[in-house]
Amino acid sequence: MLTIKEYLGLSADQVKKLEQLRDNFQRQSIRNEADVKIVELDIAALLDNPAVEVAKVEAKIREAEKLRADLRIARVRAIEQAKAVLTPEQRKKFYENVETRSARPPRSGQNPPATEKEQPSP
């Protein structure tokens, strides 16, 4: 069975760039997840008080959600940067491979891909 590197015909330079992108995202993800856990501990501590200061809890919840959103955005950026490393032919081959391997049902509750157009209502 071919590796993705062999299948796409990646150069050594492309492999190096993609590995750097992956490693940088993993580092950011680990730091971010640790920060979220710390904020969640702070929230729990605030909620343990007999008189909960709702404004402080709200601020901490917003902080946790911002961290989660930042990580999602970082993931999108990393993917886009990785796609930019590939040639148009490699991207085409990659997407063809993904489509044949992925027989998952559409993700519910999320926006459709940008390539899909909304169908007019009957």
CB 24 within 8 A of CB 78: yes
The answer, yes or no, to whether residue 106 has pLDDT greater than 60, is no
The answer, yes or no, to whether residue 121 has pLDDT greater than 80, is no
pLDDT tens digits along 49-87: 999 999 999 999 999 999 999 999 999 999 999 999 999
Can you give the chain as a three-state secondary structure string? CCCHHHHHCCCHHHHHHHHHHHHHHHHHHHHHHHHHHHHHHHHHHHHCCCCCCHHHHHHHHHHHHHHHHHHHHHHHHHHHHHHHHCCHHHHHHHHHHHHHHCCCCCCCCCCCCCCCCCCCCC
Tell me which of 103 and 93 has the higher pLDDT.
93
**Mean of pLDDT over the chain:** 87
pLDDT tens digits along 13-28: 999 999 999 999 999 9
CB 98 within 8 A of CB 8: no
Model pLDDT, residue 97: 79
